[in-house]
Every structure is written in structure tokens, then in C-alpha cells.
Homo-oligomer: A and B are copies of this chain.
Amino acid sequence: MPLADGEGITTEELRLAARNHGMPLEALRHDVTPVGLHYLLIHYDIPYVDPATYRLMIGDRQLSLDEIRALPSVTRPVTMECAGNGRAALAPRPISQPWLLEAVGNAEWTGTPLKTLLEGADGVEVLFTGLDRGVENEIPQAYERSLPFADATADDVLLAYDLNGAPLPPQHGFPLRLLVPGWYGMTSVKWLTRITVLQEPFDGYQNATAYRVRQSEDEAGTPVSRIEPRALFVPPGVPDFMTRHRFLEPGPTTLTGRAWSGHGAIASVEVDTGEGWREAELGSEHGWRAFSFEWDAPPGEHVLRCRATDTTGRGQPDEPPWNLGGYANNAVHRIAVTVG
């Protein structure tokens, strides 16, 4: 994928790319993304938190980590994706973390359902505040975002303290984070310090200014919310170090990958190896859904494509729709392969 506007990545974008980790796409082969391969987007710095003195404030209650860990616990696999995944392919390119396609991961998260902690409360929204602090658009702030009350109290929303069976690593929100399955990653506030039930909508930076789908700054736009459907290939064959172009032996090969959607289950995945769209075989579901496609690779240059449709009928566009922040670009995955 060339940079869409023909212009190089800036120093600011490179600084972000040097900090924020993508998941190398060959890691799609794992049902559960190993720690250290899951994508990371960290707005400010990773804060240091002492678990012994840590307290979560919910309104005027304070809970220690031991108290939270003593509550009923649930473990579930959840595919998380950054709202900016695919941003660097948009033209003109919105300037922020320049993700290509790697901002995804599928982990097993353990925590306690949030809704039991909000029992008896009522409000319009719930605000989640993290311990990470910085400046964004000249506004000093802690990272914080709100959710509509009904979404915050949905059955599957967790206060998560374990990742893949071990305490959260610092970079994933140690000791406690919000986990909102099906929503883009900015929703799942890390290093959670405070939960506040609001009687009117939150107008802070991350809800009112950032993370809105809009064409210009004059427009209010719509909030970024649930993850759009996407299918990605495990890149077949072997790569060139520099270009990442793929080389494959001719003959029968199994193309594999994963698909997910925050709106519903995956209904189908299609693959095009140059002969039109064909149905792929769906495999196990564990957070994301595996797919495979048998291909008798003929010598030559090929472009492979895959796309997912979910049970709500949502699919993937051939070309990415543009928006100011570069959010939710779920255009069809293309991989160029030299067979020979």
C-alpha cells in the first residue's frame, strides 16, 4: 500500500509510530495474541501505578485492587482494534499515529462486570478517567472518555485486571482498565482511576473533539463507536525485508486469516485471488473468527483480497471513505504476491 497522498510520513508521525506497537500480521495465526504482539496505542506516557496503594473511585466509593479481584470474575476473548487502523492509507492522510493495518489484537481478558458496581445508579453517561496525563491540542488533560449509560452497563463490559491469564502488563493499563467489547480501543480506558455517573453528556476532548467521524472541524460529526467489519490475511509465503512484498511457491496453498466486527458475528468471508470473489471457509470463533481458502497458486503476479460481512449486513468498502481524523477505515485487505 503506497502512502495515499504521495507524501512522506512526518517526524511527528514517526515519533508516534516508534512508540505505538502494531501486531505483525503473521500473528493472526494465533487464536489468542501473545503478550507483546497485541497492538498498543498510548496517548500520553505509560503511568507507573503502585498496586498496593491503588484505589478505584466510583462516585464516592473507593475500592482497592484486592476488593475488585474478590468480586465475581469473567474471562472472555475480545478482539480490540484501534479506531485509527488504516489511517495511513487515506488521501489526504490525517496526521496522527500512521497505522497501516496492524492495530489489532485478540486477547483473553479477565475482570468483573461493571454493571454490578453501578447497580442502583442512573444517569445519562458514565465517565471513565485514566491516570495517564498529557497535552492534546494544547489542552492539558487526563485521558478520559464517557459512554452512554446503557452501553456502560451492558452485560459484557468489564473492569479488567488480567490479560491472557496474568496481571495486565503496564502498557495495557495495569492494574485495572475498562474493557468494552465490540468498541474501538479508545473506549477501553486504561489505568482506570475514577468512574463517574453523569447526568448530562460529557463534553471533554476525547469525546467532543477527537474520535468523531466528520469531514471538517466545523462539523459536529458522529462519535466513533463500534468496530466496523474487517478480514485480514496471514500474509502468505515469505517477505522481502524492506518492501514486505510476498514471495510464494506455485501450487496448492491454504490462505488463512481472521475476521471480526463489533456490530455482530461474522456471517461470511470472501476471498479474491484474481478470479472474482469466492466464499472462504469459516473456522473457529474465539473473539475473532478464523477463515481459510484453498488456492492453487499459478506462477505470476497476483493481488489477493479478502473481505468480511457480519450478521447485521455490514461489509467492507473497496475504497476507504475519508474523514478528518482518519477513523474506521475498513477497506478491503489487498496483498500483492509473486508466485514463482
Residues of chain A at the chain B interface (Cβ within 8 Å): 1-3, 7-19, 21-22, 24, 26-27, 29-30, 34-38, 40, 42-46, 48, 88, 95-96, 98-100, 102, 133-136, 140, 169-172, 235, 238-244, 247
> Which residues of B are found within 8 Å of A235, using beta-carbon distances?
45
> Which residues of B are found within 8 Å of A169, using beta-carbon distances?
34-37
Q: Can you pick out 10 interface pairs between chain A and chain B where the beta carbons lie within 8 Å of each other?
A: A12-B243, A16-B242, A17-B17, A18-B102, A19-B102, A36-B36, A44-B241, A135-B240, A135-B241, A140-B238
Contact check, A24 vs B44: say whether CB atoms are below 8 A apart: no
> Which residues of B are found within 8 Å of A38, using beta-carbon distances?
36
Shortest beta-carbon distance from A325 to chain B in Å: 12
**What is the CA–CA distance of A233 and B42 in the complex, to the nearest angstrom?**
19
Contact check, A240 vs B18: say whether CB atoms are below 8 A apart: no
Contact check, A42 vs B19: say whether CB atoms are below 8 A apart: no
> Which residues of B are found within 8 Å of A34, using beta-carbon distances?
169-171
Q: A134's contact among B12, B35, B99, B241, by CB below 8 Å, is which?
A: B241
**What is the CA–CA distance of A102 and B42 in the complex, to the nearest angstrom?**
15
Contact check, B24 vs A22: say whether CB atoms are below 8 A apart: no
Beyond A43-B241, A136-B242, 5 additional contacts (C-beta under 8 Å) are A8-B10, A12-B244, A14-B100, A34-B169, A36-B172
Contact check, A96 vs B21: say whether CB atoms are below 8 A apart: no
**What is the CA–CA distance of A163 and B98 in the complex, to the nearest angstrom?**
30
Contact check, A134 vs B240: say whether CB atoms are below 8 A apart: yes
> Which residues of B are found within 8 Å of A48, using beta-carbon distances?
29
**What is the CA–CA distance of A242 and B10 in the complex, to the nearest angstrom?**
11
**What is the CA–CA distance of A16 and B239 in the complex, to the nearest angstrom?**
12
